[in-house]
Structure 1
Amino acid sequence: MPYKQPVSALVVIHTADLQVLLIERADYPGSWQSVTGSWEPGETMLQTAAREAEEETGFVAADFVLSDWQLQNQFEIFEKWRHRYPPGTTHNTEHVFGLLLPIPLAPRLAPREHLSYVWLPWQQAADKVFSWTNAAAIRQLPQRVGAMAAT
């Protein structure tokens, strides 16, 4: 199995009334997150975000509003997952995106990756995710949605 690249997309899937979709990791039960996944060579980050959203939820980004938040985070990769990356890799650069859905829709989860899902108000979603970068992105949602409504 080839190594993952230490570059990823985080896709906060949400509604205009600030409901956020969270999915529970199959390899880390009890851990909730937004859609996330590694960049693949030849893709733009927008393509990575769209691909990961579809692979993990079944939502086709072109059917909704996918926006690049022009936000990047660098974080230390959890020790338990470092074997997935090239030897010596300890940090990942994450690019943040939002996917606006009209209403909370039921995702089609990838069973090898996720156990369940929940839609929550943004504050509760930010408190439930295990990743600090995911929580920080969700906490920006009111400003992001407000800016989208103003355009």
Structure 2
Amino acid sequence: MAKADKDGIIRDRRTGIVLARKHRHPLADLFKDVPMGEGLPGLHMGLPEVEHLLAIHVFDNMDCSPPRNPLYRAVPDPDSLNATGTDRVIYVPVDTPNPVAVEEADEQIFVADISDYDADQMAALKLQIQQKEIADKMLEQADPHVRGEGDL
């Protein structure tokens, strides 16, 4: 036999084990896209129900305390909808500022179709992007006259 208490938590009357909740567990999002390492996508649980059940198991039935001083926090992954078709999150250090919303371009931006690239072409493309990012960062950090913004 189970009965819901005033908070919508449904417990087994005999054991006290939480069987369900009428609403999503407030800590369920802690199990959304669990980080697996830098440059890797988060471990996606597949369904929000799985996150909910994990939260019930860990926090209600195992009596683990919620995080007190987390080192990182979840932020929406702006690229996830295009890449995976679902809204996902990425984890960033707690002190990372929130991203500034970027205005959508008035016109569509076209890039090369890389869907037929083989592993060697993908590696070359990644290297080219990395080199461009490094060059841009160096220019960004250069003195104004090197950037062409000031007098000599």
- TM-score, with normalisation over the residues of structure 1? 0.22
| Structure label with greater radius of gyration | 2
- TM-score, with normalisation over the residues of structure 2? 0.22
The structure whose residues are more often strand, as a share, is 1
The structure, 1 or 2, with the larger RCO (C-alpha pairs under 8 Å, 6+ apart) is 1
